[in-house]
Amino acid sequence: MPASVRRANSSRSPPKVKRTRSVRRNNSFNLLARPSRPGDRLTVEVLHALTPYNDDVDEVSEAARALLLNTVKLEPHVREIFFPEEEKDEVVDEVDWRGFPLDRLATALVSQCIATEKDEYKFHQMIDSQALDIVLNEIYNSLQWKKLGFCLYALKYPDVVRDDKLGVCLRDFMEDNGHVWAEKLLSYIMEPRWTSLWMHKIVRGQSTDQDYNREMNALFVKLHLLDPQVVIPAYQFLLNQRALPAVTLELATRNYLGGALDHILLSLEVQAAIQHESIPLNVSRISLSDIEVFYGVEVDEFIVTECRNIGVWSNKRPENSRVSKAKDRCSIM
């Protein structure tokens, strides 16, 4: 009887191998490489330290003024003539401009540029400077100026106020349950050590009463953007701190835009429009005859229409025509 032969079965399961217990290792490189989320860096200490001031300059106020100047340049009746290349700030459409005389301000600022530059064509004489001062002062001292200022300030604050080292801005806190962070910030300033810190600064002359009020009103704006309902409790708490200077709530009364806008920032474009030359439509530049050239034709029209509408045209006309001789336009090669 033939001996039986055991055949290898290829379908047989492989022999079991004793598994060693896996050891979980921390890869420090991967941890460092992992991009951190804003929430990882949000603390009440960081929130409290966020400030709009840099070397005593309110950067949010500067950003709000720049936004207003951008909007002035976008007004159709000045943009077409003076600022055709101006691009719109992305937050302009979020501003409630109702009640604010934006078109009047745009005309007045351009008029100010014209009046202060002594151009050779005497466009500056076409502006009544005294009447212009009255128009501008009415705008800068109006309630609408303050109301618009707070609106622009609140729009710019969340992104301008930031900690560059951490890459955190106030908007990160606002979008991460802002009302919760407002309560945390309120609790933070209610701690005795917070009061002691301010007392120490004031006693040692490191901060004045004015500095304290400025910082507290910056705190009120921060709380207002996180949760408006927390502002009054914070204000009442500070009022009861007898050891600290009296605080004034300026949230709705402060002039966030500050004083007059700097018309010099518009001067280059305005002067370029004045220097723009035009020739009669029926005359060719290659003509061998003398040609009468006019400068700033559109500026002239702007003054006798838009500037007259706000009462700042002096009824004078420019001396903006020059004779262009053929020999000055041609050269022999």
pLDDT tens digits, 79-118: 999 999 999 998 999 998 999 999 999 999 999 999 999 9
Interval 170-196 mean pLDDT: 96
22 pLDDT more than 60: no
β-bridge partners, 313? 127
pLDDT at 236: 96
Mean pLDDT, the chain, whole residue set: 86
pLDDT digits 0-9 by tens, 238-287: 999 999 999 999 998 999 999 999 999 999 999 999 999 887 655 555 55
| pLDDT value, residue 333 | 37
Alpha-carbon distance values, 47 to 39, 180, 226, 322 (Å): 12, 12, 11, 63
pLDDT confidence of residue 26? 42
Residues 6 or more apart whose CB falls under 8 angstroms from that of 144 comprise 99, 100, 101
- The single-letter DSSP state of residue 170 is H
Q: Please give the structure tokens belonging to residue 189.
A: 């300033």
If you count them, how many residues does the chain have? 333
Q: Residue 109: which of 73, 84, 85 has the closest Cα?
A: 73
Q: Per the confidence metrics, is the pTM higher than 0.85?
A: no
Cα dihedral 124, 127, 129, 132 sign: negative
In the predicted model, is pLDDT for residue 66 greater than 70? Answer: yes
User: Three-class SS of residue 261?
Assistant: coil
pLDDT (tens digit per residue) in 206-241? 999 999 999 999 999 999 999 999 999 999 999 999
Q: What is the percent of the chain with per-residue pLDDT over 70, rounded to a whole number?
A: 82
Domain boundary assignment for the chain? 269-328
